Amino acid sequence: MAKYKRTVIGSVLKSKNPGELDYIKIKDAISFAAGDTISLESRESRLASIDKALAEGKMDEDMAAKIRDSVDKMPTFVRFNLVKVSKE
């Protein structure tokens, strides 16, 4: 079974001015390899993913609590995190 590495590379941010378009902010210089993907992860999708993993027994409550804490720290102006997913 392949292991995947998840790295947050940036965010889709809500515009500061009403009526203007949202924008993407990249954290650091990044490079991609063939087969890498970028996922858009919202607060809601992360919480749903945690609930699903708990229900399927793929995650324990301690790990779920840590991830929920990090999701709760996500500012409201961040619409999505950009997550690079690559095989290790």
Residue 1 has pLDDT above 70, yes or no: no
Q: Which of 2-6, 48-52, 58-62, 74-78 is predicted least confidently?
A: 2-6
With cut-offs at 50, 70 and 90, classify the pLDDT of residue 3.
Answer: confident
Q: Tell me the backbone φ, ψ of residue 32, rounded to 5 degrees.
A: -125, 150
Which H helix or E strand runs over 48? helix 43-55
With cut-offs at 50, 70 and 90, classify the pLDDT of residue 9.
Answer: very high
Average pLDDT of the chain is: 90
Give tens-digit pLDDT for 29-49: 988 888 899 999 999 999 999
Q: Give 46's contacts (C-beta < 8 A, 6+ positions apart).
A: 67, 71
What pTM did the predictor assign? 0.75
